[in-house]
Amino acid sequence: MFKKAMIAGAVALASVGSYAASANMTVIGTISPEACAITLGSSGAVDFGTLPAGTVKAYSAYAGYYVMPAKNISLDVTCGAPTAVSLSWADNRSSSKPAIDGSDASRFGLGVNGSTNIGAYAVNYSALQVAATTAATPAAPAGALVRARNTTGAWTTATGDSASLFSGVNSTGFKLAASDTAPPALAKITGNLTINALVNKALVDSATSAITLDGNSTVNVDYL
């Protein structure tokens, strides 16, 4: 009976032909993926320290560059719940990256000294482990997947160098099963990063003032 009375009242109001006042209502909100946190060892600082030029000159040389001793830091990605993610790197010194060889796409710039590019570095991952849930014990992934960063194309199983290298051109995901064709939901990714740097030999050999390495890159956790 209450329902019928409301309908009758609505008809009576409609017959008047106008409303005294009106207001708009919006319905909004955001549903976000489970948050994932990323931590790099040493707060992300890879420090070669202060090295005399004579020390660097004693290092082996490759393609006109001194091969610096490898440096290692840890990588840890933890998600509040299983979440499909990949990792991608952006080179904030890309304009300083020199052309060295066929692996240039996998390297990052080390900044400039005056107008001369100092060199480049690559980032390899090792001892990597993943876990599907927060309660699971991390274990080695069944493989890696790559695709061009900032795209939505198909994933490709990584082979050769791309199976252990991060680069500024690809996003990298990790498999729980060998049959995975896209990165599965994970709660944890942990392992080590090895930084292999090459420094311009001619620049070091002729140095009359300090050469300051200035590499800077950003690792992103991309929600899929």
CA distances from 205 to 52, 57, 95, 129 (A): 11, 7, 23, 41
CA distances from 162 to 76, 109, 131, 203 (A): 20, 19, 22, 30
Q: Are 128 and 189 in contact (CB under 8 A)?
A: yes
Calculate mean pLDDT across residues 66-75: 96
Phi/psi-derived region of residue 160, left when phi > 0, alpha when psi is between -120 and 50, beta in every other case: left
Per-residue pLDDT of 147-200, as tens digits, reads 999 888 999 999 987 788 898 899 999 999 999 999 999 999 999 999 999 999
SS3 96: helix
Give helix then strand counts, H and E, for the chain.
Answer: 3, 14
Quote the pTM value. 0.84
What value, to the nearest 5°, has the Cα angle with vertex 127 and ends 126 and 130?
110
pLDDT at position 18 is: 60
Per-residue pLDDT of 81-127, as tens digits, reads 999 999 999 999 999 999 999 999 999 999 999 999 999 999 999 99
Which residue do the tokens 């660097």 mark?
56
Where do the domains of the chain lie? 34-141+185-217
Please say whether the structural domain 34-141+185-217 has been given the CATH code 2.60.40.
Answer: yes
Per-residue pLDDT of 12-57, as tens digits, reads 444 455 667 888 787 877 777 778 999 999 999 999 999 999 999 9
Phi, psi (degrees; rounded to nearest 5) at 181: -110, 0
Average pLDDT, the chain: 89
Q: Are 191 and 128 in contact (CB under 8 A)?
A: yes
